[in-house]
Amino acid sequence: MTGRRKMRFLVVGAGMSGILAAIRLREAGHEDVTMLEKADRLGGTWRENRYPGLTCDVPAHAYTYSFAPNAEWSRFFAGADEIRAYFERVARDRDVMPLIRFNREVTDLSFRQGGWIATTATGERFSADAVILASGVLHHPKAPDIKGLDSFAGKAMHSARWEDEVALDGQRIGVIGCGSTGVQLVCALADRAARLVHFQRSPQWIMPVIDLAYTDEEREAFRRDPALIDAIRYDSEYLGNVQRFTMGIVDPDSDAMHAIEDLCRQNLEQTVADPVLREKLRPSYRAACKRLVYSPDYYERVQRPAVHVETGAIERVVPEGVRMRDGTLHELDVLALATGFHADRFIRPATVHGRNGVALDDIWAKRATAYLAITLPDFPNLFFLNGPTAPVGNFSLIDVAERQWQFVERLIGEISNGSCDEICVSAEAMAAYEARRIAAAKGTIFASGCSSWYLDREGVPMTWPWSYQAFAEAMASPVMEDMERRNSKRVAV
């Protein structure tokens, strides 16, 4: 660190992105790193979600830090428990644990006198020169706006607030919601419930995938020869699909997108035998308009005798179960609310104030956004990982965070090498970028006519609207002319 300025860092959130930031900061020689975590365990989304059937639909060897390959994955698509255990192990092995202050929910972040001050719900204050906001996207559960929910006599719970002790075997279970979560829940419960009703306001297109368990011999081979892991992670077919999918998102009329639609349509036509059920399950919008659902067995599971697909309109929840508008009553013991998240909240409800007291809530009154999903004008030295507009296709958020880190590291380098005290995107560059992003986002498949958590309140997708290649290049080579650098008289805070 000789010749470099010593910097103090706060990392908000000890999930996948926060752990990454802490590891990278320490590797770069920054010693003063504090992580503030609202809960009593790390793991982010993998701590909060524990519903039956939860897996990651990105291949496990690709949903792994590039610097911490894991020979022990049990399956091609790993389950939540082992993913959580993986992050805990990496955090332990890389000495991240001592940096984490658990049970410290940030309630305010304010930029004062050239530095950031974080206040936590415990009333403590932490100060830093720079903040990494890694507080996650899908962590504010959205309860459905269905009348009578509180009157239910059985157990109703959101998928992200699952209670392990609730009995499921032999019960009458309703699952509301047909996103990735609802589909995984239904697959896991189809053989356990006495009756399972899947309430679908809008059926989803399902991309078929094959999930295989790795054998002991394969794991032994991975341990002996990490090149075998790389062969899966960097498999040309997988990476080709990643590239093609982002090309398809950007150009809804491309061959790539038509190929995705064909695969989903064939999956429905060829797997669902009953024509009535098939039509119930057929979406009325284009495949990949909503975040695509990947499942090896959803269509097979919903054809089990105990499963009923309900596509009618829900009238209200009553003590006995769910009453439909046509008068049908589905009597239930358990109601699983797989109804998604408030995806535009990010760090909020915490308040964040930048230079001259400018409030993030005001900046984001219309939509949550950031330049290249990383920096905002007037919020110097504050960097998002997996923040607003970050999702790139449906792919590994670890890959997204690692690439974003290249960008963040470059900006931090400007401060630590003494070029400036404060750095963030300039207001002009932000305005030009946002106009370009919105125009591009409106042309993507996500804006082709459906509802989804990708859309902001004006219907503009909150995602990366260009190709994967463009993302990789933008992260690797920050346009420094777009940045505003200032020197400030430092005052201890």
* Binding footprint of ligand NAP on the chain (CB under 6 A): 55-57, 138, 144-146, 159, 176-182, 184, 201-202, 291, 314, 338-340, 451, 453
Measured from the CB of residue 22, what is the shortest distance to ligand NAP in angstroms?
23
* Token pair of 454 as six digits: 């990708």
Q: What span, in angstroms and rounded, lies between the C-alpha atoms of 447 and 300? A: 30
Q: What span, in angstroms and rounded, lies between the C-alpha atoms of 336 and 286? A: 27
Cβ proximity to ligand NAP: between 44 and 177 the closer is 177
Q: What span, in angstroms and rounded, lies between the C-alpha atoms of 59 and 238? A: 9
Pairing mode of beta strands 32-36, 8-12: parallel
Cβ proximity to ligand NAP: between 180 and 404 the closer is 180
Q: What span, in angstroms and rounded, lies between the C-alpha atoms of 485 and 423? A: 5
> What is the chain's length?
493
Measured from the CB of residue 381, what is the shortest distance to ligand NAP in angstroms?
29
Measured from the CB of residue 12, what is the shortest distance to ligand NAP in angstroms?
21
Measured from the CB of residue 252, what is the shortest distance to ligand NAP in angstroms?
19
Cβ proximity to ligand NAP: between 117 and 146 the closer is 146
Cβ proximity to ligand NAP: between 127 and 448 the closer is 448
Q: What span, in angstroms and rounded, lies between the C-alpha atoms of 49 and 82? A: 13
Measured from the CB of residue 77, what is the shortest distance to ligand NAP in angstroms?
8
* Token pair of 44 as six digits: 């982010």
Measured from the CB of residue 119, what is the shortest distance to ligand NAP in angstroms?
30
* Token pair of 177 as six digits: 């919601």
Measured from the CB of residue 32, what is the shortest distance to ligand NAP in angstroms?
34
Q: What span, in angstroms and rounded, lies between the C-alpha atoms of 160 and 157? A: 8
Distances (CA, A) of 194 to 169, 176, 331: 7, 17, 12
Partnered with residue 294 across adjacent β-strands are: 207
Q: Tell me how far apart the 2 most distant CA atoms of the chain are, in Å.
A: 75
Cβ proximity to ligand NAP: between 42 and 178 the closer is 178
| Helix or strand run (H / E) with residue 476 | helix 468-476
Q: What span, in angstroms and rounded, lies between the C-alpha atoms of 291 and 320? A: 33
Measured from the CB of residue 479, what is the shortest distance to ligand NAP in angstroms?
29
Cβ proximity to ligand NAP: between 57 and 378 the closer is 57
Cβ proximity to ligand NAP: between 199 and 405 the closer is 199
Measured from the CB of residue 322, what is the shortest distance to ligand NAP in angstroms?
10
Measured from the CB of residue 464, what is the shortest distance to ligand NAP in angstroms?
14
Cβ proximity to ligand NAP: between 33 and 334 the closer is 334
Collect all residues with Cβ–Cβ distance below 8 Å to 227 and sequence separation of at least 6. none
Cβ proximity to ligand NAP: between 48 and 129 the closer is 48
Cβ proximity to ligand NAP: between 162 and 453 the closer is 453
Q: How many CB atoms lie within 10 A of CB 334?
A: 21
Which residue of this chain has its Cβ atom nearest to ligand NAP in the complex?
179
H-only helix segments in 147-302: 180-189, 216-224, 226-233, 236-250, 255-271, 275-280, 298-301
H-only helix segments in 61-212: 80-93, 180-189
State whether the Cα torsion 29-32-37-40 is positive or negative. positive
